[in-house]
Structure formats: structure tokens, C-alpha cells
Amino acid sequence: MGTWEGLVTGLNFALQPGVLIFCLLGVLLGTFVGVLPGIGAMAAISLLLPITYYISAEAALIMLAGVYYGAQYGGAVASILMRLPGTPQSAVTALDGYPMARDGRAGAALFAAMVSSFAGSIIGIVVLVLLAGWLSRVAVAFGAADYAAMMVLGLVAASTIGSARPAKGFAMIVLGMLLGCIGTDVNSGAMRFTFGQTELLDGVNLVALAMGLFGVAEVIGNVRDPERQAVTEKIGFRQMAPTRDDLRRMVFPSLRGSGLGSFFGALPGTGSTLSSFLSYAMERRIARRPERFGHGAIEGVAGPEAANNSAAITAFVPTLTLGIPGDPIMALMLGALVIHGVQPGPMMLEARPEMFWGLVASFGIGNLLLLILNLPLIGVWVALLRIPFRWLYPAILIFICLGVYSVRGLTYDIVAVAGIGLAGYLLALARFNPALLLLGFVLGPLIETNLRRALLISRGDPMVFLERPISAAFVVAIAGLLLLSLVQWVRRRRRAIPAR
């Protein structure tokens, strides 16, 4: 199926009333959780996973994707108005958005964030369409050894790139892979690490793990916070109207941020957070008056917002075409597909074209809905920031318990999600990244399957990973990343030791 034929097929599917409703629900809920600080798209997607059991795989993926990129839009609201990022990606937006709000230009900052986000998303969709077909054709040549090496590279990259504590990242990856080993071995039928618990024969419940790590843990971490500062400013269309100078300053930062985000979003292990910070650094670097940044420069809002939204779209490139999640949220998306019996990878475009192209078309429809709805609904989202958090968190816990119980009907899962939530909170206190645990949990079983298959084909010869050019390239890249991480660790140690 060609690109244009695929897009037409996708539009026909995405414009069906039932699919449109799930797309609208996803983007609205995504904006909602993006506006509220401390919740985030990960927790929202985890809460929605049980619902996906009762709808089609296509509608489920479109809804969950809407939550993901909708949260990018909503995250800017709290950053600009309260200097409380609704999502990690929008933290950099507060650097200039909040000063603009204090100068009485909150409306212009919100307008810049919304329009730049839309522009970044559209450019990201174009990149996704152009790259997806090419990557899927290349990936058809991949064997089991290539897939195993590529997935290991994704895990190593996620734990080392941009991380100040790569050892802790590795620890979370390994712990996640160990949790993925729990259950019945599909090859031998042996029970692994079940400790006599029949509830663990099918492995650790992905929904309980995700809800515990990113729902319960977030509630525990925020429940003792002092009350947020109330937002009293009223914002309407008149306050959001930008000046001609604002429009002129927005154009090129939005384009540069979109290009930067599209590139880094398609790379496993980088994500939209890195893209937004790099965009801000680049805009400040090339600005004629860099001293304006940090004091209300609209370029510092437009560039990062375009970058994180374009990265959110292109993050689906490795997830759908190679089966490699680009970030932890994509790992959760991958888990949702596996739950529905869908195997992402190079054959997905051939086996499930309506799912792939329907998702691509829904990106455009969903972002258009976000732009149309969010501009008039800014007042509503601002009003949400006045809800006391002592009322909000109990409701979230109730939904978590209902959601995890609905999957298998076991009270064991409710106890498990509470224990996982406490463990996730303690890990966060110790400065471990629980998101990497989920990444290892999802990719671990896939790595094991392809590793076994590769060794079976090669009759147990591990040199198969160096004899194949593709897997050998991945092994060299893994070694390079590990060596780079070691060099950076040695340099930090030397700087930490005072000169005698």
C-alpha cells in the first residue's frame, strides 16, 4: 500500500464517528492531565489501559495516543500561569512563559504555546509519514539477532543518554527485565520466580505495574505538598491576541524547534524532554539579545513547545515500525498493543494498515481538535487549577483500584498495585527513574524471545551477533555508548576530587 493510498485509508477509518469520539476523549483527557501538575500522561494512560480491553485495538491506540500528545498541550498552561510544569517536557516553557504571565502577557504566552504546538505536531506527522515506510522496508531484512541487539541498544541508550546517573538507570532496566521473567516460560513451561503464587503464573500485570509506578507513587509523592497558589487571572480571546512583533518572533523558533524535535523524537532513548531543552538552548544561543531569555522572551515559549510536540509524534516511528519504544510512554503503548495481540514491527504496515494509517490520520485530526477546542477552553483549564488537590487525589486512587481490579477481577492486583506504588515512591526518593523499570519490563521478554531464537538458529554460537552486519553495528554502538558513559563517569570523579 502506497503512502497516499494509506493516508486515504487512514482518513476513512479515523473519520468514523466511533473512532472520532475516542480521539476526542483522548485529547481532552490528555489536556486535562497535562494542566494538572504532578499527574502526567503516564499515569493517565495507565488508568485507561483497563478500558482498552473493551474496545478495538485501533480505537484504543488512537485514544491513548491522544492522551499522550494532548498532555503536551495542557502541560504549558500550568507552566505559564503558575510555574508548575504539568509535564516534564513543559518545564522549560516556564522559564519565559511565567515571566510573560507576570508582565500581564499570559494570553500571548498561551497563544504562542498552542500555535507552536500545533505547528510542531503537523511537521512531526509529515516526518512520520516519510520515515515510516522507509524504515519498515529496511527492517524487513532484520533477523532475530538484529532485533535482540537493537532492543538492547535501545535500553542502553535510554539509561545512558542525558543521564547523570547511568548506573542507577542500568539498575532499573535490569530490575524491569527481571520482573518480565516472572511467570510461565513459553518454551519449557517452567514456572519462574512465582514463589508458589498462582496469580503470578501469567506474569506481573502490566496495568498494575504502570498504575502503581506512575499513579499511586505520584499521589504519595504529592499528597504532602502545600496547597498550590491559586490562579485568579481571567484569560479570554482578547487577552490571547499576539502583537505583530510576537508573531514575527514566533515563526522561525517554531520551525527550528519542530525540526529538532522531529529528529530526536525518532531516536530511541531521547524523547521530547531532551528536545524541548535543546530547542531552548539553541534559541538562546542564536538570539541577538540572549539576555532577554528568562525574562519573557516569546521565542523561549514557541521553540520548546514546537519541539516537544513534534517529538511526541515522531516517537511513534521506532515504536510502530521497529517495535522499539522511544521512551517509557511508548513502552506503555507497546504494552497496550501486545495486550490486544498486535505485534508492532516492519510487518505492521502490511498486516494492519488500517491501524497504522488510521493512527497517523488521527494525529492530524486530534491536533486540529486540540487547537480548535483549547483556544476557547483556556478559561476552563485555568479554572481546573483552582481545584484543591486534597479532593483530586482520593478520586485518582479510587479510579486506580477500580481499573486494576477490572482487568482480572483479583483483589491480589489491588494489593500489588499498592505495594508497587510504595516501591515506586521509594525509588523516586532514592533518585532512581521508575520509567526505565517499565521500559525493561516491556522489552525484556521481547529480547529474551529473539535472543533464544537467534541462538537456536546459530546452534548456540554467540558469534552470530558479530557475523551479521546489522547486529554487529548495533553491538558496536552499544559498546560505544557504554565506553562513553564510563569516560563521563571518570571525568565527573576527577572533577569531584579536589586538587592537592
Chain segment 90-130, per-residue pLDDT in tens: 767 877 887 887 777 777 888 888 888 888 888 888 888 87
pLDDT band at 230 (very low <50, low <70, confident <90, very high): very low
Residue 109, pLDDT score = 83
Q: Is the pLDDT of residue 232 over 70?
A: no
Q: How many CB atoms lie within 10 A of CB 500?
A: 3
Average pLDDT over residues 234-263: 76
pLDDT (tens digit, 9 = 90+) per residue, 122-131? 888 888 887 7
Residue scoring higher pLDDT (165 or 200): 200
Residue 140, pLDDT score = 60
State the distance between the two ends of the chain, measured CA to CA, in whole angstroms: 68
Quote the CA–CA distance of 244 and 239 in Å, as a whole number: 14
Residue scoring higher pLDDT (397 or 435): 397
Residue 19, pLDDT score = 85
Residue 125, pLDDT score = 86
Q: How much is the mean pLDDT over the chain?
A: 78
Residue 419, pLDDT score = 92
Among residues of the chain, what percentage have pLDDT more than 70?
82
For residue 204, which amino acid is it?
A: V
Phi, psi for residue 399 in degrees, rounded to 5: -65, -35
Average pLDDT over residues 168-176: 87
Three-class SS string for the chain? CCHHHHHHHHHHHHCCHHHHHHHHHHHHHHHHHHHCCCCHHHHHHHHHHHHHHHCCHHHHHHHHHHHHHHHHHHHHHHHHHHCCCCCHHHCCCHHHHHHHHHCCCHHHHHHHHHHHHHHHHHHHHHHHHHHHHHHHHHHCCCCHHHHHHHHHHHHHHHHHCCCCCHHHHHHHHHHHHHHHHCEECCCCCCEECCCCCHHHCCCCCHHHHHHHHHHHHHHHHHCCCCCCCCCCCCCCHHHHCCCHHHHHHHHHHHHHHHHHHHHHHCCCCCHHHHHHHHHHHHHHHHCCCHHHCCCCCCHHHHHHHHHHHHHHHHCHHHHHHCCCCCCHHHHHHHHHHHHCCCCCCCCHHHHCHHHHHHHHHHHHHHHHHHHHHHHHHHHHHHHHCCCCHHHHHHHHHHHHHHHHHHHHCCHHHHHHHHHHHHHHHHHHHCCCCHHHHHHHHHHHHHHHHHHHHHHHHCCCCCCHHHHCHHHHHHHHHHHHHHHHHHHHHHHHHHHHCCCC
- Domain ranges, ordered by start, for the chain: 3-495
pLDDT (tens digit, 9 = 90+) per residue, 322-379? 777 766 777 778 777 877 777 776 667 777 777 878 888 888 888 888 888 777 776 6
pLDDT (tens digit, 9 = 90+) per residue, 399-410? 778 767 766 778
- Residues 6 or more apart whose Cβ sits within 8 Å of residue 112: 242, 246, 250, 298, 301, 302, 305
Residue scoring higher pLDDT (430 or 278): 430
Q: How many CB atoms lie within 10 A of CB 496?
A: 7
Average pLDDT over residues 167-190: 84
| 184, β-bridge pairs | 191
Q: Is the pLDDT of residue 396 over 70?
A: yes
Residue 228, pLDDT score = 47
Average pLDDT over residues 261-286: 72
